[in-house]
Amino acid sequence: MNPENYLYLSALLFTIGAAGVLLRRNAIVM
């Protein structure tokens, strides 16, 4: 596994995690 794929994978996981936190926060507000 080359570093470029690792960079894409970490960016994807970070995006999914950030989206999950935002959705959870919005659900708590509603």
The gap between the terminal CA atoms of the chain, to the nearest Å, is: 42
pLDDT in tens, the chain (30 residues): 689 999 999 999 999 999 999 999 988 887
The domain ranges of the chain are 1-30
10's enclosing H/E stretch is helix 3-29
pTM score, whole prediction? 0.60
CA distances (Å), 2 to each of 6, 9, 10, 29, in order?
Answer: 7, 11, 13, 41
At 5, list the tokens: 């794929």
pLDDT at 29: 80
The single-letter DSSP state of residue 12 is H
